Chains A and B, each alone.
Chain A
Amino acid sequence: DQQVKQNSPSLSVQEGRISILNCDYTNSMFDYFLWYKKYPAEGPTFLISISSIKDKNEDGRFTVFLNKSAKHLSLHIVPSQPGDSAVYFCAASDTGTASKLTFGTGTRLQVTL
């Protein structure tokens, strides 16, 4: 049972435009959400996170939006740059019960010139 889903395996965006990556979750106990960026043959690197008490968190070009009623979060990258081309994973945890961190399947973003 996939509790964190990223339904778009890939996304292509022109340089300078906005990239929007989506993530859905099914476990209503999840209360902390994270986005990671990953290059091939490397470990993921942390980008941005959001707690369930918020609906938006911004850090430079990256903004994460959380819609708890829809169990949906999204990552916006504005403006997109060629160096943003990578696989993006969303992750979620239930901080009240355990340290378990559950990841989605990832979305490959390609930023074209």
Chain B
Amino acid sequence: DGGITQSPKYLFRKEGQNVTLSCEQNLNHDAMYWYRQDPGQGLRLIYYSQIVNDFQKGDIAEGYSVSREKKESFPLTVTSAQKNPTAFYLCASRRDRGNTEAFFGQGTRLTVV
């Protein structure tokens, strides 16, 4: 079955620690995205990548980093510089820049304790 897999579903982090969220897709999509959802704020774009070894900052990239070494994988690192990391994180992928829909993973709930 083709799809996007995010892991883990729930993640707890101590303040001051970096943590990496996994996102893997087997849809052969070129573009991949990371969004963050907070109550009442919709989905805000953190980073996106249109092609392997290239990525662009979204609207709220501060405190986050990404890599795109393989087409299938787009991990997101939440660094200690991110002031409010507790949120629901969503990864998505899309075939290309044309008129196509994006497919989402099931999300990772990150809680800083």
Chain A: residues with CB nearer than 8 A to chain B?
A: 6, 9, 32, 34, 36, 41-46, 49, 51, 89, 91, 93, 95, 98-106
Contacts and interface: CB of A to CB of B under 8 A. Distances in A.
Most B CB atoms within 10 A — which of A42, A45, A100, A102?
A100
Nearest to A106: B42
Interface residues of B, number: 32
B74 interface: no
Nearest to B30: A99
Q: Is the interface of B mostly helix, strand, loop or mixed?
A: strand
A43 B35 CA distance: 11
Nearest to A36: B104
Contacts of B65: none
Given A41-B109, A42-B106, A43-B6, 5 more contacts: A34-B102, A99-B30, A99-B48, A99-B97, A103-B35
A103 B91 CA distance: 14
Interface in B82-113: 88, 90, 92, 94, 96-99, 101-107, 109
